[in-house]
Amino acid sequence: MTNVSDALLTLDKVGKRFGGLTALTDVSLHIKRGEIYGLIGPNGAGKTTLFNVVTGLYQLDSGAFDFAGQRYTQSKPHLLAQAGIARTFQNIRLFSNMTALENVMVGRHLRTSTGIWGALTRNATARAEERHIVQRARELLDYVGITTAHQTLAKHLSYGEQRRLEIARALATEPKLLALDEPAAGMNATETVALKALLQKVRADGITVLLIEHDVKLIMGLCDRVAVLDYGKKIAEGVPEEVRRDPAVIAAYLGGEAT
């Protein structure tokens, strides 16, 4: 492992099984602060499982991971969100019957504190916090490029807007690591270009990005480093150009034996 001190997320031999199926086998990798890290691999390779493990939706069976200096063997989604991991989902999971603005406002839940008493009395603190939540949510919607549809229900937004709304909602939790599960899936070429620009902007603002993606062009043009999973094992890691020429990777994608 190179230079562990600047690593934000380090996986240490993480394993995950579902009954007899081994979804992840001793996966170790480290993601440095400030980089865009790509995770690729054929369908069923365990990419989303890995996401679910580091965001607390699944409990790992072996190994551990370190995030921002804290070691985890088991945790809960809201605690990892608290620690600074925010994610989007492969099949968009927005709060469909809430407006775009409300979706992002929910993302602020974690970093705000108004309780029952504040909600009932609407004292000065609660009102100020509520104003701040709305303002921040509006800024984030503008940031991801949803400028006019703030009051539209999430389910009525276009597909590309829904993907970007998920990113805005995740950013509202003030993450250190933004984990995106196939953000470009189903996007057209223009939307993908906009997404790429958005992710570069996110990184420029100091947020580390972890990306699962099938769009090789996007991965190659965006990621600093890439890891390849196949059948739950990491078969390659490195800068995109290198990984692309790796025989094991070619074999995994095209089938057949590595030569």
Kindly tell me which residue out of 40, 86, 180, 222 binds other proteins, with binding defined by CB under 8 A: 86
Spell out where the chain has E strands: 7-18, 21-32, 36-40, 62-67, 70-72, 85-87, 177-181, 208-212, 225-230, 233-238
Q: How many residues bind other proteins (CB under 8 A)?
A: 44
At closest approach, how far in Å is the CB of 114 from other proteins? 5
In whole angstroms, how far apart are CA 8 and each of 87, 94, 143, 251? 15, 27, 24, 31
Establish if 251 lies at the interface with other proteins (CB under 8 A). Answer: no
Rounded CA-CA distance 97/72 in Å is 34
Q: Give yes or no for a contact between 14 and 32, defined as CB atoms under 8 angstroms apart.
A: no
Phi first, then psi: give them for residue 12, nearest 5 degrees: -120, 100
Establish if 75 lies at the interface with other proteins (CB under 8 A). Answer: no
Q: Which stretch binds other proteins (CB under 8 A): 28-36, 41-49, 106-114, 186-194?
A: 106-114
Q: Give yes or no for a contact between 208 and 176, defined as CB atoms under 8 angstroms apart.
A: yes
Establish if 115 lies at the interface with other proteins (CB under 8 A). Answer: yes
Q: Token pair for residue 254?
A: 């095209």
Kindly tell me which residue out of 14, 39, 40, 126 binds other proteins, with binding defined by CB under 8 A: 126
Establish if 256 lies at the interface with other proteins (CB under 8 A). Answer: no
Rounded CA-CA distance 134/108 in Å is 9
Q: Which stretch binds other proteins (CB under 8 A): 15-23, 111-119, 207-215, 246-254?
A: 111-119
At closest approach, how far in Å is the CB of 170 from other proteins? 8
Establish if 107 lies at the interface with other proteins (CB under 8 A). Answer: yes
Which residues of this chain interact with other proteins, rule CB under 8 A?
55-57, 76-78, 81-82, 86-87, 89, 93-99, 102, 105-110, 112, 114-116, 118-120, 122, 126, 129-130, 133, 150-151, 153, 169-170, 172-173
